[in-house]
Amino acid sequence: MKQLVHGLMAFLMTMTMGAAMAADLLLGPGDVLKVSVYGSPDLNLETRVSEGGNISFPLIGQVPLAGLSAAAAEKKIASMLEAGNFVKKPQVNVIVTAVQSQQVSVLGQVNRPGRYPIEGKRSLIDLLAMAGGINGEGGDRVSLIRTRDGKTTREEIDVIEMVRAGQLAKDYALSGNDVLYVERAPKFYIYGEVQRPGAFRLERSMTVVQALSAGGGLSMRGTERGLVIKRRDADGKIRLIDAKQDDLLQVDDVVFVKESWF
């Protein structure tokens, strides 16, 4: 079931990626632009938006473009050329050849962590798809860290449940400098008289008997009457719980299987 849900999520991610339009991109420092003026090849240039948000353009000098779309930048340059009587009714074309200002960091348990440009409208699922999706060690939850109006917030989003339920209200549109962090999948531990002691992925609503199955079942000397869960409480102290087969496990639980004496 887990593989099916992950596969469905990957499919939906791929399908949504094509919806973005580059024209919606807002320009910012570091972006590389190719500007051309129809009929005036001497005015054509490729330039980078400065840290102050400007470009230096022939005849008209410094042009502030930060925060404008490519279409708005075309109109601004054209109006300045016409206002200075340099070109009559100029037709300006602006193409963004490299995006540096509007990037999102995708970190943690993804196949291709890194910084990705937002070319148009990109959502959380879009960016996960661009990063190759959640890898085998990744959990179901993604942390979204954003700064708005000088205030930084962190929200945890259950991506698998969002896709499974078809409720995409939290598939937020992302902006430059947002951070996505995919947590490592929660684990439990099992040791004692089992075939494969060790650490295993904690699935949703996982029971003790399912934990035994993950550990390969009881060894020849094991007994289901001797199951103990070691669980750390809120104060950091270890509690010993006599476990039943249908008890639900929690993150970082340690299941101990005792040896049968007869």
* SS3 state of residue 79: helix
Residue 183 and residue 163 in contact, taking contact as beta carbons nearer than 8 Å: no
**Tokens of residue 60, six digits:** 């008209």
Of the two residues 2 and 201, the one the predictor is more confident about is: 201
22-38: average pLDDT: 84
**Tokens of residue 196, six digits:** 């494969």
Amino acid identity at 250? Q
For the stretch 43-93, pLDDT in tens is: 999 999 998 999 999 999 999 999 899 999 999 999 999 999 999 999 999
For the stretch 224-260, pLDDT in tens is: 888 999 999 888 899 999 999 999 999 999 999 998 8
In the structure, what pLDDT confidence band is assigned to residue 18 with cuts at 50, 70 and 90?
very low
Of the two residues 87 and 117, the one the predictor is more confident about is: 87
pTM score of the predicted model:
0.66
Question: What pLDDT is attached to residue 80?
Answer: 96
Q: Which residue has the tokens 């650490």?
A: 199
Question: What pLDDT is attached to residue 4?
Answer: 42
Q: Which helix H or strand E contains 96, and what residues bound it?
A: strand 92-98
**Of the candidates 24, 14, 20, 9, which has an alpha carbon nearest to the alpha carbon of residue 168?**
9
User: Exposed e or buried b for every residue in 150-181, given b needs 16+ CB within 10 A?
Assistant: eeeeeeebebbebbeeeeeebbbebeeebbbb
**Tokens of residue 3, six digits:** 């593989």
Question: What pLDDT is attached to residue 102?
Answer: 83
Amino acid identity at 165? A
Residue 53 and residue 28 in contact, taking contact as beta carbons nearer than 8 Å: yes
For the stretch 85-98, pLDDT in tens is: 999 999 999 998 88
Q: How far is CA 160 from the centre of its chain?
A: 13
